[in-house]
Structure 1
C-alpha cells in the first residue's frame, strides 16, 4: 500500500470517530472563518463542493456565500471522474447523485466553468506546511487543477480541514499542486507559493 493510501486510511478512520454534533459545530466555525478570508470575501465566483458524511461541513458556508450574492459553482461528477459544474441555488435544489454525493439540479455549465472562479474550495483529507493537499485519490480535482493551470487561471485554492489534518508531510507526486490556504476550526493558515 502506498504512503498516500496509508495516510488516507488513517485520516478516514479518525473522521469516522467524529459525532454528528462534532461535524455540525465545526461547520459553523469553518463557515465564519472561511467567509472572512479575503480570498472568499472579495470573490464574485467560488467553485465549492457539498460536504457529505464526516467531511468538514460546507453547507453553512455555501448558504453564506450565496446570501452575499456570490455565484457558487458546485461539481457534478461525470462518468470519467472529471467534473462538470452547476450553480448552487439553495439546499432545496440539491439532488442525490452517485457515490453518496449531492449535486445541483439545474443546467450543466461544462468542465470549463471553473475557469471563471476567483476561488476554489477543494475537498481534502490533509495538508502539510508547504500547502500540499492530500485528496481522496479519485483524481477529479487533479483534473480541475490541471485545467486551471493549462488555462493560466490562478484562483485562490482553499481547503477546509479539521485541526489534526494539518500534518507534517503529505506524500506528493509530480501532478500535485499546493493550495494557498487551509481553514480549520483553529483558524486560517496561508502558504507561500
Structure 2
C-alpha cells in the first residue's frame, strides 16, 4: 500500500504501474465488471448527456458501459483535446467515425456537436476514500470541470478506475474538486449525498 506522505507525482507513478501490471485478460474482465455494475447503478433520464472515454494505455474499457447508457437513451460524448489547455466534449453518435484527438486519444471529428456533460466519467491515476483523485498531470479535466462550473453547471463526477488504484490518502489542494463517486470492478461508491441522475 502507498504511504500517506508521497507526492501526487509519486502516487501517480506507483498506481499507474500497478494498473499496467494487470494482464490484458484481467483488464478485460475487470472492465466488463465495471461496465456491468455501472450500467446497473446509473439510471440517467432520457437525454442526459454523459461523457465517457475510449481507453488509452491500460485504462478500463468503457465501451460496453457507454453502449448500455445509450440504450437507456443517454446522449454519449467523448473528450477531445483541442490544444494543450482545452478539452471539449463531442457527441459520440452510434457508428460515428473516430479520429485522433490528442494525448493518445480518439474521438468524434469537428462535425460532431459539442455538448456540456451532466455526468462525467473521469479517468484517473489514483483515488482515495474521500473522493480525491489524481489525474495524469496535464490538468485537462480540472480545467474542463472549472469551465462547466463557470457556466453555472454542476456535473456529477464519477471516477473510473480499477481497485488497485485506490490509495489511503491523496494530498488534496484547495483548487481540487472531489469526485461524487468512483466506479471500479467492485461497484460504485458515492462519496457525497448525490446520485447520478
Please identify runs of 4+ aligned residues in structure 1 that moved more than 6 A.
none
Question: Distance between the aligned counterparts of 2:78 and 2:16, measured in 1?
Answer: 23
Question: Distance between the aligned counterparts of 1:127 and 1:91, measured in 2?
Answer: 33
Shift in Å, 1:106:
5.2
Q: Which residue of 2 aligns with 1:34?
A: 38
Shift in Å, 1:52:
1.6
Shift in Å, 1:164:
2.0
Question: Distance between the aligned counterparts of 1:65 and 1:155, measured in 2?
Answer: 16
Q: After the TM superposition, which residues 131-150 of structure 1 pair with which residues of structure 2 at under 5 Å, given as runs? A: 131-150=131-150
Q: Is the 8 A contact 2:179 2:191 kept in 1?
A: yes
Question: Distance between the aligned counterparts of 2:70 and 2:16, measured in 1?
Answer: 30
Give the 3-state SS of the residue equivalent to 2:103 in structure 1.
Answer: helix
Shift in Å, 1:108:
4.7
Q: Using a 3 Å threshold, how does the CA distance of structure 1 residues 154 and 98 change in structure 2: closer, same or farther?
A: closer
Q: After the TM superposition, which residues 21-100 of structure 1 pair with which residues of structure 2 at under 5 Å, given as runs? A: 21-38=25-42, 40-42=43-45, 44-90=48-94, 93-100=97-104
**14-23 vs 130-139, which moves further:** 14-23
Give the 3-state SS of the residue equivalent to 1:80 in structure 2.
Answer: coil
Unpaired runs of at least 5, structure 2: 1-5
Shift in Å, 1:15:
1.7
Shift in Å, 1:192:
2.1
Shift in Å, 1:92:
5.8
Q: After the TM superposition, which residues 145-184 of structure 1 pair with which residues of structure 2 at under 5 Å, given as runs? A: 145-184=145-184
Question: Distance between the aligned counterparts of 1:192 and 1:68, measured in 2?
Answer: 24
Question: Distance between the aligned counterparts of 2:127 and 2:95, measured in 1?
Answer: 28
Shift in Å, 1:174:
2.0
Question: Distance between the aligned counterparts of 1:55 and 1:42, measured in 2?
Answer: 27
Shift in Å, 1:59:
1.5
How many pairs align? Answer: 187
Q: Is the 8 A contact 1:34 1:188 kept in 2?
A: yes
Q: Is the 8 A contact 2:19 2:165 kept in 1?
A: no
Question: Distance between the aligned counterparts of 2:161 and 2:11, measured in 1?
Answer: 15
Question: Distance between the aligned counterparts of 2:160 and 2:96, measured in 1?
Answer: 23
Q: Which residue of 2 aligns with 1:187?
A: 187
Give the 3-state SS of the residue equivalent to 2:66 in structure 1.
Answer: helix
